[in-house]
Structure formats: structure tokens, C-alpha cells
Structure 1
Amino acid sequence: MRVVNEVKKEEVKITLFDWNNKYLIKFETGGMEQTFKISALDVPEEKSLELMLEGEFFEDVKERFNEMHQSLQKAMKNF
């Protein structure tokens, strides 16, 4: 597995990997992470992946983190 790029944006660590004819985009914040796998055949060049770190896709990732956090908090109340 090769790290293509690593950036931090709005408290979210983003790591791009090249692995096994796939690109992995890993988003991390706090104790949570989201990973997306994309076939290398669907990506014209590695720099194209950086476009996915902007706009609606990134906003959806942040919203999903909020949902994950709320779900965890709700589950922790049951202990």
C-alpha cells in the first residue's frame, strides 16, 4: 500500500492510498473514520482524486461524521 497524499482539512485528516489496483480515500476525525475504495480504472490520474476532497462529497463526509458521532453518543447512554 502506497500513500499518495495526506492532508488535513477542517479537522479531518484525509489520506489517499494506492493499493491493489484501487485508490482508497480515508477520512479520519476523532475516533471515527470513513474509507472509500475506487477502482484505478475509474480515475484518469491521481490528481483527479483531489477534486473529490472539495464540494458536496466532502460536505457529505462531514455530515456522516456528525451522524456517526450522534449514533455513538446515543449508544453510550445505554451503558
Structure 2
Amino acid sequence: MSDIKLFLKRVEMFIGLSDEMLSKVASLCNSEAYKSDETIIERNSSPNNFYFIQDGTVEIITAANNDAQELVDS
């Protein structure tokens, strides 16, 4: 069984899926690693990906009207 499929089995929104359906979802996934302080999504971009954090944490930073950065979540 793939590492991605094993990970997805523990994600609440996928609990209860059949093994076949879980395999299909896993086949659509890619595993990526990011370094500390590396940007994953740029402001004003149009990402077409959905991210799960398997290990570690992320900070979500947004800019206010005056372009001052504000930490939304980490």
C-alpha cells in the first residue's frame, strides 16, 4: 500500500471510503516536501491544488489593505 494511501486513511474526510475509492484518490495525489520559510502559494495566485499537511506546520499570512502582513494561522 502506498504511503499516500496510508496517510489518506487517517484523514477524517476520507474515513469510510472503500479501498478502491481510496486507491483512486491516492493515485491523484503527489507528495511534496517544503523547507522552513519556503512559500507554498504566492499571494494573488490561482492555485489548482489541494494541500494536506502530513508533518510539520504552516503559517498562513495575508496582507491587509495597507500591505502590512498579518499572521492568520499557524
Settle same-fold status: TM greater than 0.5: no
Between structures 1 and 2, the one with greater helix share: 1
Structure 1 or 2: more strand by fraction: 1
Instruction: Provide TM-score, normalisation by structure 2.
Output: 0.32
